Structure 1
Amino acid sequence: MHYPGTATPDRFPAQDRFAAGAQYIAGRLVAGTSGHVHTVVDPATGKDVLSYELAGTADVDAAVAAARAAFPGWAGATPGERSDALHRLAGVLADRAEDFARAESLQCGKPLKLTREFDVPGTVDNAAFFAGAARHLQGQSAGEYSGDHTSYVRREPIGVVGSIAPWNYPLQMAAWKILPAVAAGNTIVLKPAELTPLTSLLFAQAVTDAGIPDGVVNIVSGTGREAGEHLVGHPDVAMTSFTGSTAVGRRVAEIATATVKRLHLELGGKAPFLVFDDADLEAAVHGAVAGSLINTGQDCTAATRAYVQRPLYEAFVERTAALMETVRVGDPSAPDTDLGPLVSHAQRDRVAGFVDRARGYARVVTGGATPLGDLANGAYYLPTLIADAAQDSEVVRSEIFGPVLVVLPFDSDDEGIALANDTPYGLAASAWSRDVYRANRATREIQAGCVWVNDHIPIISEMPHGGYKSSGFGKDMSAYSFDEYTQVKHVMFDNTAVAAKDWHRTVFGDR
């Protein structure tokens, strides 16, 4: 394994930037009131980044009240006005790109090349997309369906949205939650993970600086048990959008349904990577390494289960291991670093536990260890390839959420597709083949919200993201996301001006 040198650029000055507090309510930073202090830690070094008081229930109440007060004015703005505001926001985000990139790298351990080339540009593009999409929220055009009436459909905002985002993509998840909600005329209270609040707070400040009214976007940085559950159950929150694990998603659903809220869930994944025997082997190997290691494997769409048809299996294992061993693990701020640490030492230890247990029933081909030397203090784990595990084993069934790829063989196409679908999850998948009919069959039969062909991971603002089965329901990004953040109203006008309608006889009188 190659370790790049260290770099020492200016660290993002989180403690100075958020000296007033790590809550953003009604257009300003304020301190939390829970009485509990949390410290954000740089996972690359173990050094403290920001200590702040967590949000308590009173802070959630204040944020919801601010969002509720802002709702009538924002919902009443024209689509053009909301569009103009989001265009300004995209500009502010672009102007502050380096700030966002450094803050995201610092709190998550992401290599700067990932935050600069993926997280931040994707967020700016998402803002630009929803700026345009805000003008296209039409309902069905008018029509006479009963003969005596004219009907049309309105799309209206829901109200205050309470959203909860995870720690793996804090900036992009903030954008995915906030942008469609406010583009549709809603206001929002977002709870980022307490581990990684920095870029959500920067995003909220950018919203204010773009001229979007105070209270439209609010941030509460607190724990899921206190701030999150109170937000989901709040009587003035009309909708909940949650991204995170399936286990926590079940708890969110339990709380939300008690108050009959609109609910959107994007949950866990265990994406299959299905390689048929006519695939371009080099392309599949490169795709597997990139698709399994992006964001240090902390991605619910990451390639985690590679099923390779028997004629290519041994070559795939050998070449994937060799390519993994060229990946440069190191300081996230160094320009030649490919892979940074996991988000925390606890997450690293969780991943290591999966791999250590797998040694008893499978073959760890490469990796499976924490690096030594300069990286020993960080939450690093080497890119890991596991082969010859059984389909019912823990590493095949469970979401590891780390830089670990498991490879299994299959014989027939039927078997390969059946193995790909043999999971409670259904968020993403990929199929690798030169045969268009074979690939098309895989896209039809694999049960996942996204199926890539001869690639794995790319996302674009114009297309929806969401899962099947235990990976949740509803869509992020694209115009399809407006189905989550709007409610449909049918309006019907009588065209006859007749007082006594023919249908009244079913209630009183005769024809």
Structure 2
Amino acid sequence: MKRRNPMDRESLITGCWIHGREVVTHRFWSVEDPAERAVIARVHTASEEEVNQAVCSSAQAFANWRMLSPEKRSELIKKWAELLKRNAERLSEVLSLEVGKPIRSARSEVVSAADFLDYCATEGIRISARYSDSGFIVIREPVGICGIITPYNYPLSTLAVKVGPALMAGCTAIVKPDEHTPLSSLMAAKLALDAGIPPGVINVLCGPGEEAGRLLVRHPSVRLISFTGSTKVGKEIYAECSAYIKRVILELGGNCPAIIASDASWERHLDSITQQTFKNTGQYCYRITRIIVHKSIYESFTARFVEKTRNLRVGNPKSEETQLGPLNNLKIYENFRRQILSVLEHGGEMLLGEVPEETPSGGYFVRPVVFRNVPTSARIGFQEYFGPVAFIIPFSDDDEALELANDTIFGLAAYIFTEDYRRALRWSRNIEAGSIWVNRIHQARFDAPFGGFKQSGIGREKSLHGIEAFTELKTLYFKLDGDHR
């Protein structure tokens, strides 16, 4: 039996998705396969007209969606999750093509997105009112229409982490996916309609952030913006939202440290440290960027880490054996190249890798890069590296390790490896980061809040806190019969 090509036109939605139907426009954006630099789809992009249509649709749907019981919303979201799983292979193929993500990683992302929606549908029922015997009730109500702006690196799982809580809270969502990776989001929106989620509850607008995204952020009827992306763009969105005092949830850049103490069982964790450094070709907000290693084990750790990194398999995302695919687009590729050149110009010693060629001859492939002896003048903690690079830094004592870990404008995540629990607790209390892993690395849990300190963002996603972020508190004062106060 012939396998269906995921890019067959009849199997794709390439228009904006507004009120349960595909809307075509007269403007286009070419979606590229970053592994081959070939156009795989031409997507219709939104103008002010389509943004207004989506907002009107969301407002109409909100009036009814907010009145559904939490149990009914939960039932529909669970059906949506089930359809994502039923269509997992097709979704995975599209994700792999548009992101450049290895196919095994793409499958994992689809499952993770569906599992999170299942979690959200269960946890969201627990949002409750607070009753007082003093004559008042505190309730939570949905914020309203939410603008959801998602990144290219994890388009489907990020959509789930934002749209699931919004819907469970009773809000409606207008999704603006990254212009390079809209296809999986459009497919997910269609599957939501197939699951019984009413038209207008989820709309999708395609196009560049400078156009469609800015129009969505500026629309006065949109009450909340949830954005995952760079700190630079997050600041712009924050400023735009201030004009209307809009609620914001910003999950921004990272430059995450891993501290490896002299007593750490680092050999046991080396595989997971390497994976967390280079996963998704380094296009990952809470990946390890700076590895801070005690000087007594610095040379041995560095040698083994470089060896592990050298053996990572870079190649075609369609291959089951590939571990690292290409970078997603030319802008990311060129920025990564500039960053590598800058570190070399400041005197950093490249232990592994090479400077990406100025003009890529094929796809946007780059080899993993490992640096050491990088001077402080390079200020490596003050920018996000969205590509496969690691910096190995020695330290002498616990205080120096803390100072190095916190020498950054970011504070998304950190990793600690030591057998001394007192040291682990002290470092954990003093590292400025929203999530810290001690002697383990795994995906951030659904039932734990996730977000950053400093310039890594505002607010928290996941867990009950992430659902409540899409609600407003309202206090009701009652005077009951027989109450003479």
TM-score range, shorter chain: over 0.9
Say whether the 8 Å CA contact 1:15–1:49 is kept in structure 2: no
Other-structure match for 1:509: none
Matches of 1:170 and 1:15 in 2, distance apart?
21
1:451 equivalenced with 2:440 (yes/no): no
Identity %: 34
Q: State the aligned residue count.
A: 482
Alignment of 1:307-322 (within 5 A): 307-322=292-307
Structure 2 residue aligned with 1:363, among 349, 353, 359?
Answer: 349
- Alpha-carbon offset, residue 16 of structure 1: 3.4
Match of residue 68 from structure 2: 77
Please name the residue that 1:61 is paired with.
52
CA contact (8 A) 2:342 2:378 kept: no
- The amino acid across from 2:127 in the alignment is L
Q: Give the Cα–Cα distance (whole angstroms) in 1 for the partners of residues 5 and 441 of structure 2.
A: 32
TM-score (structure 1 length as normaliser): 0.91
1:201 equivalenced with 2:201 (yes/no): no
Query: Is contact 1:18–1:29 with CA below 8 Å preserved after alignment?
Result: no
Partner of 2:463: 478
Of residues 143, 152, 159, the one that matches 2:132 is 143
Structure-1 residue corresponding to 2:426: 441
* Within-5 A mapping of 1:162-311: 162-311=147-296
- SS of the aligned residue for 1:287 comes to helix
Tell me by how many angstroms 1:305 deviates.
Answer: 0.8
Shift of 1:25: 0.5
Mapped to 2, the partners of 1:78 and 1:287 lie a distance apart of 42
**Structure 2 partner of 1:385:** 370
What's 1:49 paired with? 40
In our comparison, the structure showing a higher alpha carbon Rg is 1
Residue identity matched to 2:475: H
Query: What is the Cα deviation at residue 312 of structure 1?
Result: 1.2
- After TM superposition, give the deviation of residue 396 of structure 1 in Å: 3.8
- C-alpha distance in 2 between matches for 1:162 and 1:248: 15
Provide Cα deviations, 1:258-277, integer angstroms capped at 9, x if missing partner. 01111111111101111111
Paired residue for 2:411? 426
Relative to structure 1, the CA distance from residue 9 to residue 246 in structure 2 (aligned partners, 3 Å threshold; closer, same or farther) is farther
* Separation (CA, whole Å) in 1 of partners of 2:17 and 2:286: 30
Q: Deviations over 1:171-190 (max 9, x none)?
A: 11111111000011000101
Q: CA deviation at 1:300?
A: 0.9
Contact kept in structure 2, 1:101 and 1:115, CA below 8 Å: yes
Cα offset, 1:151, TM superposition: 1.8
1 CA distance for matches of 2:380 and 2:406? 16
Task: Compute the displacement of 1:244 (Å).
Answer: 0.8
Would you say the 8 A contact 1:97–1:120 is kept in 2?
yes
1:24 and 2:24 are equivalent in the alignment: no
SS of the counterpart of 1:256? helix
Distance 2:371 2:8 in 1: 39
Q: Which runs of 5+ in 2 are unaligned?
A: none
Amino acid at match of 2:447: E
Secondary structure of 1:76's match?
coil
Matches of 2:377 and 2:257 in 1, distance apart? 14
Separation (CA, whole Å) in 1 of partners of 2:323 and 2:289: 19
**Is 2:79 aligned against 1:88?**
yes
**C-alpha distance in 1 between matches for 2:87 and 2:160:** 15
Is 2:260–2:416's contact at 8 Å kept on the other side of the alignment? Answer: yes
Distance 1:441 1:498 in 2: 53
SS of 1:152's equivalent in the other structure is strand
Deviation of 1:124 (Å): 1.1
The 1-side partners of 2:65 and 2:326 are apart by 41
Q: 2:111 aligns with which of 117, 121, 128?
A: 121
Amino acid at match of 1:17: S
- Once residues 119 and 211 of structure 1 are traced to their aligned partners in structure 2, the CA distance between those partners, rounded to angstroms, is 23
| CA distance in 2 between partners of 1:273 and 1:299 (Å) | 15
Partner of 1:330: 315
CA distance in 2, matches of 1:57, 1:378: 34
Q: Deviations over 1:394-449 (max 9, x none)?
A: 43431110000111111111110111111111111111111222112222111111
Q: Is contact 2:127-2:468 (8 Å) kept? A: no
Q: Secondary structure at the match of 2:114?
A: helix
Contact 1:364 1:387 in 2 (8 A): yes
The aligned counterpart of 1:469 is 454
CA distance in 2, matches of 1:483, 1:326: 44
- Are 1:130 and 2:120 an aligned pair? yes
**Contact 1:14 / 1:50 at 8 angstroms: preserved in 2?**
no
**Matched position secondary structure for 1:225:** helix
* Contact 1:264/1:473 (<8 A) preserved: yes
Give the superposed CA RMSD: 1.9
Pairing 1:12–2:1 present: no
Q: CA deviation at 1:281?
A: 2.2
Aligned to 2:98: 107
Counterpart-to-counterpart distance in 1, 2:305 and 2:439: 16
Alignment partners' CA distance in 2, 1:222 and 1:287: 36
Cα distance in 1 for residues equivalent to 2:180 and 2:294: 41
1:179-230 Cα shifts (integer Å, max 9, x gaps): 0000110001010011100111111011101001100000001111111111
Per the TM alignment, residue 17 of structure 1 is displaced from its structure 2 partner at its CA by 2.9
Residue identity in the other structure for 2:110: V
**How far apart in 1 are the matches of 2:94 and 2:163?**
19
SS of 2:393 mapped into structure 1: strand
Q: Secondary structure at the match of 2:297?
A: helix
Distance 1:483 1:155 in 2: 8
Contact kept, 8 Å, 1:143 with 1:152, in 2: the verdict is yes
- One-letter identity of the residue aligned with 1:122: S
Does the CA-based 8 Å contact 1:15-1:51 persist in structure 2? no
